[in-house]
Amino acid sequence: MARRFIPLAEVAEILDVSAAQAYALVRSGDLPAIKVGGRGQWRVEVDELENYIQRMYAETKALMESQHGEP
């Protein structure tokens, strides 16, 4: 069975960013996450990470189109 949640360290690895950058995405609300356990470990739902990636693709495409005057 596939995992539903992954730790921020794994999110950082998947996105190829630092752990601090992954945490900043969560703190800003750009990437939804939950705190679990007694020590408050952050976890990101795999589907939410995929949604974030797809949003970034869409935003990047829109940015490129606006910069290059494409429809």
Percent of the chain exceeding pLDDT 90 equals 83
Place of tokens 């495409």: 61
Q: Which of 16, 51, 10, 6 is nearest to 31 (CA)?
A: 51
- Give the domains, in start order, of the chain with CATH numbers: 5-68 (1.10.1660)
For residues 51 and 57, give the distance between their C-alpha atoms in angstroms, rounded to a whole number: 10
Its pTM stands at: 0.87
Structure confidence by residue, pLDDT tens digits, 18-50: 999 999 999 999 999 999 998 989 999 999 999
| 44 within 8 A of 31, measured Cβ to Cβ | yes
